Each structure stands twice: as C-alpha cells, then as structure tokens.
C-alpha cells in the first residue's frame, strides 16, 4: 500500500527539546487549527519559556512551505501540532544520611504541520 504525499502539507520537527511533553502540549493546544500568522502572534505573547522554541519551529515550518513547496504564507493554517516523548536523562540528587534520590529530566520531540487553506484567507481576530 502506497501513501500519496500531500503537496499542500509541510512539517518542521524539533528533536530533543529540553522540556517535558506535558508542558509543551498545553501550549500546542492553543495554536492547533489556527492561521499560522495568528499562531505566531499568540506564541509571541505566551508567558512560558518553551513558547519561544515552539515559535522557532512554527517559523521553520512556514519557511519550508514558502521555499520548498511555494505555498502562500498568508493562507497557511496549523493543521497538526503534536509532541512526543524524547530521551530521559537520569540524574541523582544527594539526600540525607548518604542516600540519593533519582531525578528524571525529560526531553520532547515536537512536530508542527502546516497546510494551505483551500478557503479564503483567515483574517486576524481582535
């Protein structure tokens, strides 16, 4: 069975992002299905540390759409935005009486897929 590649979809992947998938997914919920320019604006004013990294990935997806597939950047929407579990670093923190407690530092793999909207371009809402 062969998969036909949709030429109107472009993706950007950020691997080993130093934040847990749970924290990233809370931000991704707010940009799914939105116009790419509106999503960029929303990420600009999101008060989270990883919002800047998500914004870079979205900017990369928009640039890929413009340069590789010659899509109109004004008609792009965030079709999919999801995060997966990456590597986990295991570290130890010293505790009382010579003991040690484990700490897990989670990493994430972020994928953003933008696609060209077939309808009229969405205007930015107030």
Q: For the chain, give the percent of residues with pLDDT over 70.
A: 90
Residue 123, in any domain of the structure: no
Asked if pLDDT for residue 56 goes beyond 70, the answer is: yes
Q: Mean pLDDT throughout 1-7?
A: 57
The total number of structural domains that make up the chain: 1
Residue 122, in any domain of the structure: no
CATH number where 48 lies: 3.90.470.10
Residue 92, in any domain of the structure: yes
- Residues of the domain holding 42: 9-116
Q: Mean pLDDT throughout 104-117?
A: 96
Asked if pLDDT for residue 120 goes beyond 90, the answer is: no
Residue 2, in any domain of the structure: no
Q: Mean pLDDT throughout 52-70?
A: 96
Residue 90, in any domain of the structure: yes
Structure confidence at residue 7 (pLDDT): 77
Asked if pLDDT for residue 10 goes beyond 90, the answer is: yes
What's the rounded Cα separation, in Å, for the pair 110 and 31?
13
Residue 3, in any domain of the structure: no
Structure confidence at residue 4 (pLDDT): 43
What's the rounded Cα separation, in Å, for the pair 114 and 109?
17
Structure confidence at residue 5 (pLDDT): 67
């Amino acid at each position: 069975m062969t998969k036909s590649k949709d030429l109107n979809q472009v993706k950007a992947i950020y691997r080993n992002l130093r934040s847990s998938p749970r924290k990233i997914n809370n931000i991704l919920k707010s940009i799914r299905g939105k116009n790419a320019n509106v999503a960029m604006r929303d990420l600009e004013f999101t008060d989270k540390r990883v919002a800047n990294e998500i914004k870079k990935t979205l900017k990369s997806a928009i640039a890929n759409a413009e340069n590789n597939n010659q899509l109109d950047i004004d008609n792009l929407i965030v079709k999919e935005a999801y995060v997966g579990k990456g590597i986990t670093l295991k570290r130890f923190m010293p505790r009382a009486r010579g003991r040690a407690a484990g700490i897990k530092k989670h990493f994430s793999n972020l994928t953003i897929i933008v696609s060209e909207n077939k309808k009229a371009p969405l205007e930015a809402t107030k």
